[in-house]
C-alpha cells in the first residue's frame, strides 16, 4: 500500500480533489498527473581527499504550458524522484496561483552539505549542471535556490551554464547574488511574501497582529526572513527552531540576535533567556500564528489536534498532510497553503528574470512594492474562491492553480 504521507501520494490526492471540484476533463487530468520529463543523473566528482564521490542528481519538469519550467534545487540526503516530482507539481500550481508565466519544475541532489567542503559543493554543482544543461535555459527551465542551496550555488550554476554556451546568460537562473544580476529583495522574498499573506489573513479573520505571538519551525533563508518581517510589523516571535532543536521565550525574541548566535554556535539552541525545546514542542507551542519553514510532513494526524495556533502560514512546501488538513479545518484554524503562502520567492525570481532579460535593475522599493501587490492579488483570488466554494483555502488555491493550467492546455490544444 502506498504511504499516505508520501509527498507524491499527497500531491496526486490534491490534484484529484481539484479535478473533481473543477469537473476537469479526464484527458487533462491524466496529462497533469505525470511530469513531462524526469531526468536522473549520476554526478561523479573528485572529493578533497582524492577519492571519487558519486551522487544522485534529479531534475523533474512537470508542466510548461504557461511558460518555461521554474523551480528550486534542493541538496538533501535521501531525496527521491517521487518527492521531487511532487514538489515540481506544486510549483506548476504555485506559478499559476501567483499568475506568473512559468511552469513547474524541481531539482534535487542526494548529498549532505554539512559534511562537504565549499570546493566539493562547487564541483558537485558544476557537474550536475553540465549533465542537465541541454534541458535548462532562460526559455526552457530556470533553476532557483531551495533547501541547502543559496545565492552562491546559483552563481556557480549561472557560470557553468554560461561557460557551456560561450557567453554570459544571467537570465538562466534566479536567486543569484546582486552583483551578477540577482534582484534586490530576492533573498528575503519568500519570508516577506509569507508575512504579506498573514496580514491579509489577519484582516479577514479579525486576528490582531500587534503583539500576536508567532512560532517558526526552520531558521534558514525562509524562516529567518519571515521572523524578521513579522517582528518588524509588531508581532512577538516566541519560538524558533532549526535541525538541532528549538528555543522558546514568552517575551519574544529578536531574530537578528538569534541569527548571530546561530552563526557563532551552529544552532539556535542555548540562546540566552530562552528555554530549549524540541521541534515537536515548537509545533505545539502556545502561539497565535505558526509558520512551518523547514521540511514537509510536519503537521500530521498525530499532532494536528495539539496545535494551538489560530493561523498557520505554510512557508515550507508540503508541511501538512491531508488528514491534518481536515482536522485543522474542523477546528477552525486558518491555514494559508504553501502554493499561496510561499509564492513570494518565485514571484521575485520572475522579477529577476524580467530584469535580466531587459538588462534593467530595479530598486528594492520597486521590487517590494511589486511583491506586495502580487501577493495581495493572489491572496484575494484564493480567498474569494474559498468563500464562493465554502472550502478551505488549500482547496481553493488548488482549484485556482489547476484550473488556470487546465485552461491553458485546453486553449493551446494537443500537438500533433
User: For ligand NAD, which stretch binds (CB under 6 A), given 47-55, 124-132, 201-209, 216-224?
Assistant: 216-224
Count of residues of this chain found to bind ligand NAD when the rule CB under 6 A is applied: 24
Q: Which of residues 2-31 bind ligand NAD (CB under 6 A)?
A: none
Query: CA 31, CA 334: separation in Å to the nearest integer?
Result: 32
Q: Which of 61, 160, 183, 190 binds ligand NAD (CB under 6 A)?
A: 190
CA 300, 306, 310, 314 dihedral sign is negative
Query: 19 or 154, CB closer to ligand NAD?
Result: 154
Query: 88 or 147, CB closer to ligand NAD?
Result: 147
178 binds ligand NAD (CB under 6 A): no
Q: Which of 12, 214, 294, 309 binds ligand NAD (CB under 6 A)?
A: 294
Q: Which of residues 296-355 bind ligand NAD (CB under 6 A)?
A: 315-317, 342, 345
User: From residue 255 to residue 284, what is the string marking binding to ligand NAD with x (rule CB under 6 A)?
Assistant: ------------------------x-----
User: For ligand NAD, which stretch binds (CB under 6 A), given 9-17, 33-41, 139-147, 328-336?
Assistant: 139-147
242 binds ligand NAD (CB under 6 A): yes
146 binds ligand NAD (CB under 6 A): yes
User: For ligand NAD, which stretch binds (CB under 6 A), given 39-47, 123-131, 156-164, 241-249?
Assistant: 241-249
Query: 79 or 169, CB closer to ligand NAD?
Result: 79
* Angstrom distances, CA of residue 309 to CA of 67, 196, 207, 210, 295: 37, 18, 11, 16, 19
User: For ligand NAD, which stretch binds (CB under 6 A), given 13-21, 39-47, 231-239, 288-296?
Assistant: 288-296
145 binds ligand NAD (CB under 6 A): yes
User: Taking Cα atoms as reference points, which of 341, 284, 294 lies closest to residue 313?
Assistant: 341
Q: Which of 18, 19, 100, 222 binds ligand NAD (CB under 6 A)?
A: 222
Q: Which of 160, 217, 320, 347 binds ligand NAD (CB under 6 A)?
A: 217
User: For ligand NAD, which stretch binds (CB under 6 A), given 215-223, 328-336, 359-367, 397-405?
Assistant: 215-223
User: For ligand NAD, which stretch binds (CB under 6 A), given 51-59, 217-225, 368-376, 387-395?
Assistant: 217-225
Query: 157 or 222, CB closer to ligand NAD?
Result: 222
Query: 170 or 406, CB closer to ligand NAD?
Result: 170
| CB burial of residue 102 (10 Å; 0-12, 13-18, 19+) | buried
Q: Looking at the annotation, which residues are catalytic? A: 106
Among all residues, whose Cβ is closest to ligand NAD? 220
- For cell 532549526, the residue is 242
Query: CA 309, CA 285: separation in Å to the nearest integer?
Result: 8
Query: 221 or 395, CB closer to ligand NAD?
Result: 221
Q: Which of 219, 271, 351, 383 binds ligand NAD (CB under 6 A)?
A: 219
* Angstrom distances, CA of residue 368 to CA of 181, 194, 389: 17, 13, 31
Q: Which of residues 148-177 bind ligand NAD (CB under 6 A)?
A: 148
Side by side, which strands form the sheet with 245-248? Answer: 275-277, 245-248, 236-242, 213-217, 289-292, 311-313, 334-336
Q: Taking a C-beta distance cutoff of 8 angstroms, is the pair 335, 312 a contact?
A: yes
Query: CA 342, CA 221: separation in Å to the nearest integer?
Result: 12
* Angstrom distances, CA of residue 376 to CA of 127, 194, 303, 403: 40, 11, 31, 20
Query: 296 or 406, CB closer to ligand NAD?
Result: 296
Q: Which residues bind ligand NAD (CB under 6 A)?
A: 145-148, 190, 217-223, 241-243, 279, 293-295, 315-317, 342, 345
Amino acid at each position: 500500500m502506498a504511504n499516505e504521507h508520501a509527498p507524491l501520494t499527497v500531491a496526486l490526492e490534491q490534484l484529484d480533489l481539484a479535478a473533481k471540484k473543477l469537473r476537469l476533463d479526464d484527458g487533462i487530468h491524466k496529462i497533469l498527473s505525470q511530469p513531462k520529463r524526469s531526468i536522473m543523473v549520476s554526478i561523479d566528482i573528485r572529493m578533497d581527499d582524492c577519492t571519487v564521490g558519486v551522487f544522485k542528481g534529479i531534475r523533474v519538469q512537470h508542466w510548461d504550458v504557461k511558460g518555461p519550467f521554474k523551480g528550486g534545487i534542493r541538496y538533501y540526503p535521501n531525496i527521491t524522484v517521487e518527492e521531487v516530482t511532487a514538489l515540481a507539481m506544486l510549483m506548476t500550481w504555485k506559478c499559476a496561483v501567483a499568475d506568473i508565466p512559468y511552469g513547474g519544475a524541481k531539482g534535487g541532489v542526494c548529498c549532505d552539505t554539512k559534511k562537504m567542503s565549499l570546493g566539493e559543493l562547487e564541483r558537485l554543482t558544476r557537474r550536475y549542471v553540465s549533465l542537465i544543461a541541454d534541458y535548462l535555459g532562460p526559455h526552457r527551465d530556470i533553476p532557483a535556490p531551495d533547501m541547502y542551496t543559496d545565492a552562491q550555488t546559483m552563481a556557480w550554476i549561472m557560470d557553468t551554464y554560461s561557460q557551456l554556451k560561450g557567453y554570459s546568460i544571467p537570465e538562466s537562473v534566479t536567486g543569484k547574488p546582486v552583483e551578477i544580476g540577482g534582484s534586490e529583495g530576492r533573498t528575503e522574498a519568500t519570508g516577506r511574501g509569507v508575512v504579506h499573506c498573514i496580514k491579509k489573513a489577519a484582516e479577514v479573520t479579525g486576528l490582531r497582529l500587534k503583539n500576536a505571538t508567532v512560532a517558526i519551525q526552520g531558521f534558514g533563508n525562509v524562516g529567518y526572513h519571515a521572523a524578521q518581517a513579522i517582528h518588524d510589523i509588531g508581532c512577538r516571535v516566541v519560538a524558533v527552531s532549526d535541525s538541532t532543536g528549538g528555543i522558546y521565550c514568552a517575551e519574544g525574541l529578536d531574530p537578528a540576535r538569534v541569527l548571530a548566535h546561530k552563526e557563532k554556535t551552529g544552532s539556535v539552541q542555548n540562546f540566552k533567556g530562552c528555554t530549549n525545546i524540541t521541534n515537536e514542542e515548537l509545533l505545539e507551542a502556545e502561539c497565535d500564528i505558526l509558520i512551518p519553514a523547514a521540511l514537509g510532513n510536519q503537521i500530521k494526524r498525530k499532532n494536528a489536534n495539539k496545535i494551538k495556533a489560530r493561523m498557520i502560514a505554510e512557508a515550507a512546501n508540503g508541511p501538512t498532510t491531508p488528514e491534518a488538513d481536515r482536522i485543522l479545518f474542523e477546528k477552525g484554524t486558518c491555514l494559508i497553503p504553501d502554493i499561496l503562502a510561499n509564492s513570494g520567492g518565485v514571484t521575485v525570481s520572475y522579477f529577476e528574470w524580467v530584469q535580466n532579460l531587459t538588462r534593467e535593475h530595479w530598486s528594492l522599493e520597486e521590487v517590494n512594492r511589486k511583491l506586495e501587490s502580487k501577493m495581495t492579488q493572489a491572496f484575494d483570488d484564493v480567498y474569494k474562491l474559498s468563500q464562493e466554494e465554502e472550502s478551505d483555502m488549500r482547496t481553493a488555491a488548488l482549484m485556482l492553480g489547476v484550473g488556470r493550467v487546465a485552461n491553458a492546455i485546453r486553449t493551446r490544444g494537443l500537438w500533433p
